[in-house]
A and B are shown apart, each in its own frame.
Chain A
Amino acid sequence: MSELLAQQISIRDCGDSALRLTAAYSDRERNWLTVQALAVWLREYDVPGVRGVVPTYDSLLVEFDPVTTDHQNLRYMISLRLETLDDGMLGNRASGTVFHVPVVFGGEYGPDIESVSEKLALPIRDVIGIVCRSALKIRCLAQAGAPMLDGPGFPSPVARRQDPRTSVPSGSVVVAGIQANVIPTPAPCGWQLLGRTPLTLVDVQNSPILAYRPGDSLKFFPIKEAEWEKYQNTPLGEIDAR
């Protein structure tokens, strides 16, 4: 790795079967593009021994079979690849598909919307307006395939709940800090629950089990409770902008 690169990229051992790469450019977008592009490369070129990749915001976990390959070997290959990763290739990841996602906000679907509106000193209508204003980019896939999103442009970050919920239903639209997320399957959650979508995001009966990837975006739009059933069996990607 060149000296310049070595200052920005660190690769650490993460047990006997994984490495963790961290990008530390001053430009956060570049960090994200770098780890995503490397993840795509490791998968598409089917690098021998690599079992899995988990790219997030500024880091990339690479899991491998320690019989087939090892840390030294993969570190060397990744370093060489980084040298030739140019801006054009990084740009390919930057713009993706926009999926439109109906959400019932407030009430039992989004019990935290009132407290969030109080903390932000904004009427509930404006909170919903901000959440639905722009498409939110999927930065990475978390537990069970959850799309981790850029947060909506609230005037200030939203704190987590003091007492995390032991379970939120699937489809829950949640925010915390400067992030947002849609929970695909019932799970414990400490984020603020604003609403819920009737869409099924991760479906084990389907192939593919999920339709989005990092770089795509979700654009929420409000629906009434009475419209829930109308959207319930609609696949993500078949809903047009309202």
Chain B
Amino acid sequence: MPAELTIKKSGMAVVTDLGRHATHLGQSTNGALDQFAARVANTLVGNEHNAPLIEMTLADFRMTADSDLLIAVTGAMAEIRIDGVLRSSWETMPLMSGQLLEIQQKGNGLRNYLSVSGNLQVPMLLGSCAPDTLIGFGTHLSDGARVGARHNTPLTALKYMDVPLARPDVPLRPQNNKPVVTVTEGPDYHEFGASIRRLFEEKYTVGARSNHIGMRLQGRVPVRQTIGELLSTGVPLGAVEVPSEDELLVLHRGRGVTAGYAVPAVVTAVGLDILAQSRPGDLLTFEMVETREALERVREQHRQLKHLRSRMEIILRGHGISPAWDIESHGSPPRAHSHFATRRPA
């Protein structure tokens, strides 16, 4: 039976997933800016990693549902209440039909993720529901909005015990206002000569104009020693650019796919999640690691998620709930298939 969520107060909230993979069509990636928090949220309620979920920025959110659901809230520090009773983030909670869920961002961090057991029914584009502000696509929630959710298995066995369903061990990143962001050497590292050292000596202030497209970081910046215009090239998520004399631009998941700036460093996949939780005024430092080390860290995170999934498999089944996931997959979003193949055979 489909459930319906009623958003009583949305604040800044969207329905998103892990992102769109259609850069060959010039389309930005987008998707949950803190990917780890989004994956954990979905896993806690038995969803696939890539299932649509709600991303809130500076959460100020109230919602009810018309049937019993499992929910989880992850990400920034927040005050969570169900029918007025204080709850915690990073755990699996029942939300019974008619109960009021409230989420208020409190303390460090910027973005919260709310997962709901089942599949939120929202429009998709090229394999993803992730909003794209450049092309004007996506589900931005507003007060009074209703969102359908389709269950894979109805939660008939779910009894409201007035306590959370599970609090499995999730390795959490420390959250404070002095984030350390890991980067690797960028493809144009050597074009910056000795000035590249500034990137690691300086503390950068997160600027107010930062958003899902790019983070603006104020401080002493490295200076490109080579002159000459660059042809447009594809730029990766996390590319560090120096477009002005007093500001760095770090491209996040909403970035345009090409740019004509040199890239001295690239923020790691794990570092991008940390950037997603930093907010204007935070003091940020960069830490350089070898590519090999960065790979090790992202794979360690993958092992943690895999472990969490196997724990949740047991816990949920113990409550008579079947998770939606295929135990073999590790949650990579499906790729948008080429439309060219159907348009005209080669």
Task: Give A contacts to B, CB under 8 Å.
Answer: 12-18, 20, 22, 39, 43-44, 46, 51-61, 63, 65-68, 70-71, 92, 140-146, 148, 177, 184-185, 187, 202, 204, 207-211, 213
Contact = CB atoms under 8 A, between A and B. Distances in A.
A43 B23 CA distance: 11
Interface stretch (B3-11, B69-77, B132-140, B310-318): B132-140
B25 A145 contact: yes
Given A70-B295, A140-B232, A140-B258, 15 more contacts: A14-B236, A14-B239, A20-B236, A39-B24, A43-B338, A44-B338, A54-B24, A54-B235, A67-B332, A142-B232, A143-B134, A146-B26, A185-B136, A208-B339, A209-B339
Given A56-B258, A184-B135, A51 B335 contact: yes
Contacts of B267: 15
Contact of B233 (A39, A52, A56): A56
A211 B187 CA distance: 32
B167 to A, nearest CB: 26
B299 A67 contact: yes
B308 interface: no
B256 interface: yes
A52 B302 contact: no
A87 B256 CA distance: 32
A142 B294 contact: no
A143 B234 contact: no
A59 B234 contact: yes
A143 B126 CA distance: 16
A33 B237 CA distance: 25
Contacts of B233: 20, 22, 54, 56, 59, 61
B65 interface: no
Nearest to B266: A15
Contact of A141 (B25, B185, B291, B343): B25
A145 B27 contact: yes
B105 interface: no
Contacts, number: 162
Given A204-B135, A213-B340, A66 B298 contact: yes
B238 interface: yes
A185 B341 CA distance: 25
Shortest Cβ-Cβ A-B pairs, 7 listed: A61-B234, A54-B234, A15-B266, A143-B256, A208-B339, A141-B26, A52-B23
A141 B341 CA distance: 17
Given A18-B266, A92-B346, A185-B134, A54 B340 contact: no
A61 B234 CA distance: 5
A145 B132 CA distance: 12
Report the interface size class on chain B.
35 or more
B231 A59 contact: yes
Contacts of B112: none
B43 interface: no
B contact face: mostly helix, strand, loop, or mixed: loop
Nearest to B333: A51
A92 B346 CA distance: 9
24 contacts: A16-B268, A16-B294, A17-B238, A39-B24, A44-B338, A51-B21, A52-B21, A54-B233, A55-B24, A61-B23, A63-B23, A66-B269, A67-B299, A141-B24, A143-B256, A144-B27, A144-B134, A145-B26, A185-B135, A187-B134, A202-B26, A204-B137, A210-B26, A213-B340
Contacts of A71: 291
Contacts of B120: none
Nearest to B23: A52
A144 B302 CA distance: 31
A102 to B, nearest CB: 22
A47 B125 CA distance: 23
B139 to A, nearest CB: 13
Contacts of A65: 332
A208 B234 contact: no
B84 to A, nearest CB: 41
Contacts of A60: 234
Of A16, A51, A61, A144, the most chain B CB neighbours within 10 A belong to A16
A139 to B, nearest CB: 9
Contacts of B269: 15-17, 66
B257 A54 contact: yes
A142 B256 contact: yes
Contacts of B330: 67
A209 B126 contact: yes
A199 B233 CA distance: 27
Contacts of A13: 184-185, 187, 291
Contacts of B263: 14
A143 B26 contact: yes
B288 to A, nearest CB: 12
A15 B237 contact: yes
A18 B185 CA distance: 12
Contacts of A66: 269, 295, 298-299
Contacts of B235: 54, 61
Contacts of B28: 143-144
Contacts of A18: 236-237, 266
A71 B293 CA distance: 13
B22 interface: yes
Contacts of B164: none
